[in-house]
């Protein structure tokens, strides 16, 4: 602690005199707004050799090889206030060398030759006794006090010779004290153009809940120095636990920045990312010792650090972010400086592989014209790797996008506590040797082609990311048994075999490969998330769902699947993505069993908008517990008249697609038609016509194929049973008495033959057919058949053989519809009417006998004859 402050005391003095003048920290000899010039580390042998400007107010000649100070060296520096001559080899100071420096406030002669004696001091300077404290430490405390108190002369100070150790010359002259106070007041006055430059207590950075957020404030180094001024803000600085100065375009070197942080005793986290911080040029490794005991986190990412060779940071840091800092290597002393580091982030840098330069003297001389190419050599020795050291305590290491080709040989044996390693986006072509303690490995976006069998030795590895490489074959038996999450997407796999070697695997991503079929060969009870999108899979086996009983998230998008059969999807699914496939239908048999499914992503334009899709369109798509993504973009490809239609508007109705409803509707329509037909038949005697046709067909089939040439009967009498007495006692007896041979059904029907057959036989074998018409005839079913058959005979033979006898009056309008033929016959045919009067009966019998004796006339001529002749016997 005392060594560090002793080496940096000159910086603090310069800060106090330059806060209002844009002072920048130590660099190569450069003039600033405040006239301060740095000539340290230049191997100067004398002060005059530097040729410093005479208007300088602060000069730093520390860390040179100056042996003597003369009057001539310091002549003309009338404005000089601070002089640092520490860390030289000064043995002698010419008497009166400091007498001309009337503005001088402090001289640091610490760490020079032990025999150095300071004598003949000017009246305004006195030597600080070394018994109180070291010169450098007291000088720091001197300027840490208020200005007036610091300039008070020490009552116990007295001139003592100093031999070895630090020595400081201090101002004790009251006149010089007033001039120095005026200097600070003038500096304060010169910066009153902005409120942030005033030395007021409310200018201090006040933390809120232990956090001081100065990010995005575009602070200059000067303004930051004011906000962290320990003279005015020590109470606020003690309360800072987290400091954020990121995104402020702050231009400083790291050493100067951490000097400002020294008064913050309790700070735990510092974020200085996205600024313009650089590494300090001075190598202060020998005295790099900070008083911080609680600082754990440091973020200096996105700064132009460039290298870590002279890095000086508190060793208590456990988390450091060096991402995007343009570093090209990790030096050998880095591990010694960061002994407690656990998390390290260095992604986004460019590590350069080189070899140790060859001895030019031993190199053979090549003839003129020879071209020699020195390519980058990727070697494994320590000299050729940009990663020369890492702290053994590191547990979390992120080195993505660093142009790493391979890891050094010592890596696996040294980093025994490493748990997380990110090597993504590098140029690694072979899986490197890694510590067995590793639990998380990310080596994606590289050039690895093979996963070796030795990979199984990483027994603690649970998360493995190797996406976007060139893996062509995956052997599950090479994978660690403890593996729970694996991402092997965007490779060149063509076959994926899921075996029991992956029994603990919970997440698997194989998307973006060339896989044509998923074939689980065993029961994987732990796998819950499977991403197989953007492959060449055309189908899933029907036992796939049973092999993965705990699968909850399944991505099948971007494949060539056209149909998902029953049993191909696990019932445990919660989220399913089948978009961008060739799926034509979604059926209840497959998706109805997915009772736990809450999110379904489906897109495509290959759907068959037929009844197979009815359940999806009318039931599944309206399930309130299911979120279907992309349902508004589903398009029909079949049938052709619906191509391009939205699936939701395909009009798949229940009547059109339900076979049961169709059968029920058909049955109802059939029953209705039957009822209508029955009603019509009942109304228009349809049953009678049906029976008539049936009987006609039956009779026609059983009768003779040829009509008889010689008919045995002169006439066949058709009558109703109610008119049987009159027919038998009058008509039959009279005609047979007159010698006519009559066919009478009670007598001439052949026993054992069908009734219709006998009727048809009698009509066919009789020259004439006599119909005895009365109201009872109209109501007789058999009479209707006989009239129908007789009429049919007339049509077939084209001969008018019908004789109508009206026994009782039949008004034409009273005849039923089925007697339309009889109605027509009565209108166009001559008929005989029976009269109870005896004198009319003689005429009746005479006319009837005459008709029976006549031959049958052709039907056409009969129809052209008189139609309304009525013969009545009076």
One of 3.40.50.2000, 1.10.3720.10, 3.80.10.10, 2.40.50.140 is the CATH number of 537-651, namely 3.80.10.10
Strand partners, 722: none
Residue 7: what pLDDT? Answer: 41
Check pLDDT > 50 for residue 860: no
One of 1.10.150.300, 3.30.420.40, 3.40.50.10140, 3.30.930.10 is the CATH number of 708-853, namely 3.40.50.10140
Whole-angstrom Cα distance, residue 387 to residue 414? Answer: 13
Residue 120: what pLDDT? Answer: 65
Most confident range (mean pLDDT) of 63-67, 138-142, 604-608 is 63-67
Q: Would you state the structure tokens that stand for residue 802, as one six-digit string?
A: 């019908």
Strand partners, 485: 463, 507
Cβ atoms of 143 and 16 closer than 8 Å: yes
Whole-angstrom Cα distance, residue 508 to residue 467? Answer: 11
Quick one: CA torsion of 391, 397, 400, 405, rounded to 10 degrees? 50
The DSSP H or E segment spanning 629 is: strand 627-629
* Domain 33-142 grouped into CATH 3.80.10.10: yes
Rounded average pLDDT over 825-831: 69
Residue 176: what pLDDT? Answer: 32
Whole-angstrom Cα distance, residue 509 to residue 533? Answer: 9
State the Cα angle at 731 between 730 and 733, rounded to 5°. Answer: 70
Residue 542: what pLDDT? Answer: 84
Strand partners, 507: 485, 529
Whole-angstrom Cα distance, residue 433 to residue 420? Answer: 14
Range with lowest mean pLDDT among 38-52, 700-714, 832-846: 700-714
Cβ atoms of 466 and 489 closer than 8 Å: no
Q: Would you state the structure tokens that stand for residue 333, as one six-digit string?
A: 């002393």
- The dihedrals phi and psi of 646, each to the nearest 5 degrees, come to -70, 140
* DSSP annotation string for 486-547: EE--SS----EEE-GGGTT--EEE-TTS----EEE-S--SS--EEE--SS------TTHHHH
Residue 100: what pLDDT? Answer: 83
Whole-angstrom Cα distance, residue 839 to residue 543? Answer: 106
Rounded average pLDDT over 120-144: 45
Q: Which of 621, 573, 613 is nearest to 597 (CA)?
A: 573
Largest CA distance in the chain: 197
Whole-angstrom Cα distance, residue 468 to residue 485? Answer: 16
Q: Where are the domains of the chain?
A: 33-142, 537-651, 658-698, 708-853
pLDDT band at residue 823 using 50, 70 and 90 as cut-offs: low
Q: Would you state the structure tokens that stand for residue 329, as one six-digit string?
A: 């290597």
Q: Would you state the structure tokens that stand for residue 319, as one six-digit string?
A: 């988390």
Cβ atoms of 294 and 316 closer than 8 Å: yes
pLDDT tens by residue, 691-738: 666 766 665 555 444 455 678 888 988 888 888 888 888 888 888 888
pLDDT tens by residue, 748-773: 888 887 777 788 788 888 888 888 88
Chain Cα centroid distance, residue 439: 26
The answer to whether domain 537-651 and domain 708-853 are alike in fold is no
| Residues making up the chain, counted from first to last | 874
* DSSP annotation string for 427-482: ---SPPP--TT--EEE--SS------GGGGG-TT--EEE--SS------GGGS-TT
Q: Which residue has better confidence, 499 or 304?
A: 304
Strands 168-171 and 106-108, bridge-based pairing = antiparallel
Quick one: CA torsion of 110, 111, 116, 121, rounded to 10 degrees? -10
């Amino acid at each position: 602690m005392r060594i560090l402050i002793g080496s940096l005391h000159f910086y603090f003095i310069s800060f106090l005199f330059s806060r209002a003048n844009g002072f920048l920290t130590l660099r190569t000899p450069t003039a600033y707004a405040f006239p301060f010039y740095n000539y340290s580390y230049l191997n100067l042998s004398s002060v005059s050799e530097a040729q410093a400007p005479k208007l300088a107010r602060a000069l730093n000649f520390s860390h040179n090889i100056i042996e003597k100070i003369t009057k001539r060296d310091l002549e003309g520096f009338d404005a000089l206030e601070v002089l640092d001559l520490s860390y030289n080899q000064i043995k002698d100071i010419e008497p009166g060398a400091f007498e001309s420096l009337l503005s001088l406030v402090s001289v640091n002669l610490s760490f020079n030759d032990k025999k150095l004696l300071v004598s003949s001091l000017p009246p305004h300077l006195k030597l600080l006794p070394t018994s109180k404290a070291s010169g450098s430490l007291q000088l720091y405390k001197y300027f840490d006090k208020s200005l007036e108190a610091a300039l008070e002369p020490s009552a116990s100070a007295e001139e003592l010779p100093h031999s070895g150790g630090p020595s400081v010359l201090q101002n004790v002259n009251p006149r010089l004290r007033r001039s120095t106070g005026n200097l600070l007041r003038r500096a304060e006055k010169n910066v009153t153009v902005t409120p942030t430059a005033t030395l007021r207590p409310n200018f201090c950075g006040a933390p809120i809940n232990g956090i001081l957020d100065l990010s995005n404030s575009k602070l200059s180094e000067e303004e930051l120095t004011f906000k962290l001024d320990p003279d005015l803000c020590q109470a606020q600085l003690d309360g800072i636990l987290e400091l954020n100065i990121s995104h402020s375009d702050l231009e400083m070197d790291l050493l100067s920045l951490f000097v400002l942080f020294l008064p913050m005793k309790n700070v735990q986290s510092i974020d200085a990312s996205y600024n313009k911080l650089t590494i300090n040029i001075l190598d202060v490794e020998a005295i790099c010792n900070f008083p911080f005991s609680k600082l754990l986190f440091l973020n200096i990412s996105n700064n132009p650090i460039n290298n870590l060779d002279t890095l000086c940071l508190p060793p208590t840091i456990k988390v450091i972010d060096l991402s995007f800092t343009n570093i090209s290597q990790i030096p050998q002393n880095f591990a010694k400086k960061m002994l407690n580091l656990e998390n390290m982030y260095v992604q986004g840098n460019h590590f350069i592989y080189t070899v140790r330069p060859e001895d030019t003297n031993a190199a053979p001389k090549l003839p003129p014209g020879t071209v020699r190419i020195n390519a980058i050599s990727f070697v494994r020795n320590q000299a050729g790797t940009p990663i020369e050291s890492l702290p053994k305590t590191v547990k979390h290491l992120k080195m993505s996008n660093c142009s790493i080709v391979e890891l050094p040989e010592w890596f696996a044996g040294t980093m025994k506590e490493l748990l997380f390693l990110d090597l993504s986006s590098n140029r690694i072509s072979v899986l490197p040797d890694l510590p067995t303690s590793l639990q998380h490995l990310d080596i994606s976006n590289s050039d690895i082609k093979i996963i070796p069998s030795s990979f199984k030795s990483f027994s603690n590895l649970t998360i493995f990311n190797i996406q976007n490489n060139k893996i062509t074959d995956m052997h599950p038996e090479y994978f660690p048994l403890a593996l729970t999450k694996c991402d092997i997407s965007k490779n060149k796999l063509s076959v994926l075999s899921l075996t029991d070697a992956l029994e603990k695997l919970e997440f698997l991503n194989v998307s973006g490969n060339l896989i044509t079929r998923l074939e689980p060969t065993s029961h994987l009870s732990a796998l819950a998330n499977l991403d197989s999108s953007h492959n060449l899979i055309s189908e899933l086996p029907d036992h796939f769902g049973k092999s993965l009983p705990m699968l909850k998230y399944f991505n099948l998008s971007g494949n060539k699947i056209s149909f998902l059969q029953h049993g191909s999807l696990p019932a445990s699914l919660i989220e399913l993505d089948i978009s961008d496939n060739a799926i034509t239908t979604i059926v209840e048999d497959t998706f109805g069993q997915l009772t736990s499914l809450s999110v379904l992503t489906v897109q495509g334009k290959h759907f068959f908008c037929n009844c197979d899709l009815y359940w999806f369109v009318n039931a599944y798509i309206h399930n309130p517990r299911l979120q279907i993504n992309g349902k508004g973009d589903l398009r029909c490809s079949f049938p052709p008249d619906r191509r391009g239609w939205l699936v939701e508007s395909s009009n798949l109705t229940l009547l059109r697609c339900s076979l049961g409803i169709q059968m029920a509707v058909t049955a109802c329509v059939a029953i209705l038609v039957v009822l209508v037909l029955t009603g019509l038949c009942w109304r228009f005697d349809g049953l009678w016509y049906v029976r008539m046709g049936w009987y006609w067909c039956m009779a026609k089939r059983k009768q003779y194929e040829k009509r008889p040439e010689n008919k045995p009967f002169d006439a066949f009498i058709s009558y109703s049973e109610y008119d049987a007495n009159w027919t038998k006692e009058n008509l039959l007896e009279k005609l047979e008495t007159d010698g006519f041979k009559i066919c009478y059904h009670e007598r001439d029907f052949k026993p054992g033959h069908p009734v219709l057959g006998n009727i048809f036989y009698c009509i066919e074998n009789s020259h004439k057919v006599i119909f005895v018409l009365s109201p009872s005839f109209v109501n007789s079913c058999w009479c209707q058949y006989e009239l129908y058959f007789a009429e049919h005979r007339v049509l077939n033979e084209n001969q008018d053989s019908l004789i109508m006898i009206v026994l009782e009056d039949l008004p034409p309008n009273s005849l039923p519809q089925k007697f339309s033929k009889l109605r027509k016959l009565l209108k166009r045919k001559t008929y005989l009417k029976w009269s109870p009067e005896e004198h009319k009966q003689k005429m009746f019998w005479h006319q009837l006998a005459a008709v029976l004796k006549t031959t049958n006339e052709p039907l056409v001529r009969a129809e052209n004859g008189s139609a309304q002749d009525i013969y009545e016997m009076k």
